[in-house]
Structure 1
Amino acid sequence: MNISTQTDIRVKTVIIHEDSFSVEIMDGRIITVPLAWFPRLLKATPEQLEKWQICGGGYGIHWQEIDEDISIEGLLRGAPAPRNQASIPSVND
């Protein structure tokens, strides 16, 4: 039996929840992480959160209005935003 170990980890869709977001990737997995891991997302309005785009050839998510980029690789590693991002002012300030 030949089992392929390659998976397609490109973004399929993003679902925004009240205090978290989920990313469905092409191989069928769903990754859910708290918005608190990403201060810019935590401070954004619900409308701003919904304005995401797939970027980086399908391997990232971009929110232009709040200047946030998140990679699937980072989400799979369980890596929150760097600590210095916590001091970033809110996009609504």
Structure 2
Amino acid sequence: MSTLAVELHPQAIKVHFTDVAIVVDLADGRTVSAPLVWFPRLSSASSEKLANWELLGDGEGIHWPDIDEDLSVAGLLAGTHPISNP
């Protein structure tokens, strides 16, 4: 029996924030969220700067020009985040 490998390229369509999380809506209907504490530049930014985001590529990434921060949708789905040193 053969198996067809499906390549997924998750694409963001909308980004918003709660008091403690970044929330990303994807083109395929899923929603992914992650704690803001994982992203120090985002967690320390003002609401106005957080609201100024743009999609990279076809939605594979998100860029905040005011704070020079980029996140990949694949990284958010994988749960990867910077490791902080104590």
| TM-score normalised according to structure 2 size | 0.83
Residue correspondence of structure 1 range 1-93 to structure 2 within 5 A? 5=6, 7=8, 9-83=10-84
Q: Aligned residues, how many?
A: 82
Contact 1:37 1:80 in 2 (8 A): yes
Contact 1:10 1:26 in 2 (8 A): yes
Deviation at 1:17, TM superposition (A): 1.1
Q: Which amino acid aligns with 2:52?
A: K
* Counterpart-to-counterpart distance in 2, 1:82 and 1:59: 22
| TM-score normalised according to structure 1 size | 0.77
Q: Which amino acid aligns with 1:19?
A: V
Contact 2:9 2:60 in 1 (8 A): no
Q: Which amino acid aligns with 2:53?
A: W
* Counterpart-to-counterpart distance in 2, 1:14 and 1:24: 6
> Could you report, residue by residue, the CA deviation over 1:7-61 in whole angstroms, capped at 9, with x for unpaired residues?
5511111111111110011111100111100010011011111111111331000
Task: Indicate the larger mover: 8-17 or 18-27.
Answer: 8-17
Contact 1:11 1:24 in 2 (8 A): yes
Deviation at 1:5, TM superposition (A): 4.3
How many percent identity over aligned positions?
40
Q: Which runs of 5+ in 2 are unaligned?
A: none
Say if 1:69 and 1:82 are closer, same or farther in 2 by CA, change over 3 A.
Answer: farther
Q: Hey, which of these two has a bigger chunk of helix by percent?
A: 1
